[in-house]
């Protein structure tokens, strides 16, 4: 059995997107991250697990307080690079939603999902 630590539906405002206007004005991004731990032997010790506040801090660092990028795929890669340094994590699942993405027609939700596993 695997233990997963998660952050669901964390909504932040940031400036990312392919179009210039997306980099000029903040827009909402909704981020969910699940990290699978390398061990289930946690023994009620925060040092043997991932503090879910670290997931929120990674989103703040790599999405909110970073230079604008074009793609949500790039944001996922930045989050993996930040979080995968933690040797307690064996896998990461990320979902980023962009509710106000510019579509040619009304409706729909822009989503990118990314899976990472330690080799």
- What confidence tens digit (pLDDT) does each residue in 97-119 have? 999 999 999 999 999 999 999 98
Name the pTM for this structure. 0.94
**Segments forming the whole domain that contains residue 80:** 13-28+38-95
Residue 90 lies in a domain: yes
Q: Is residue 81 part of a domain?
A: yes
Residue 4 lies in a domain: no
**Structural domain tally of the chain?**
1
Let me know: does 60 contact 14? Beta carbons within 8 Å.
no
In the predicted structure, residue 1 carries a pLDDT above the cut 90: no
Question: Which has the closest alpha carbon to 90: 43, 40, 35?
Answer: 35
The per-residue pLDDT for range 14-50, each reduced to its tens digit, is 999 999 999 999 999 999 999 999 998 888 999 999 9
Question: What CATH number does the domain containing 71 carry?
Answer: 3.30.1130.10
Is residue 60 domain-resident?
Answer: yes
Q: Does 52 map to a domain?
A: yes
Look at residue 69 and tell me if it is in a domain: yes
CA 78 to chain centre: 8
């Amino acid at each position: 059995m695997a233990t997963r630590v998660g952050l669901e539906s964390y909504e932040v405002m940031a400036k990312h997107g392919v179009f210039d206007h997306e980099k000029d004005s903040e827009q909402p991004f909704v981020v969910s991250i699940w990290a699978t731990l390398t061990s289930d032997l946690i023994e009620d010790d925060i040092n043997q697990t991932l503090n879910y506040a670290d997931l929120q801090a990674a989103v703040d660092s790599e999405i909110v307080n970073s230079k604008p990028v074009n793609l949500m795929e790039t944001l996922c890669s930045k989050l993996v690079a930040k979080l995968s340094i933690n040797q307690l994590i064996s896998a990461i699942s990320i979902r980023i939603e962009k509710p106000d993405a510019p579509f040619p027609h009304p409706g729909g939700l822009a989503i990118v999902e990314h899976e990472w596993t330690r080799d």
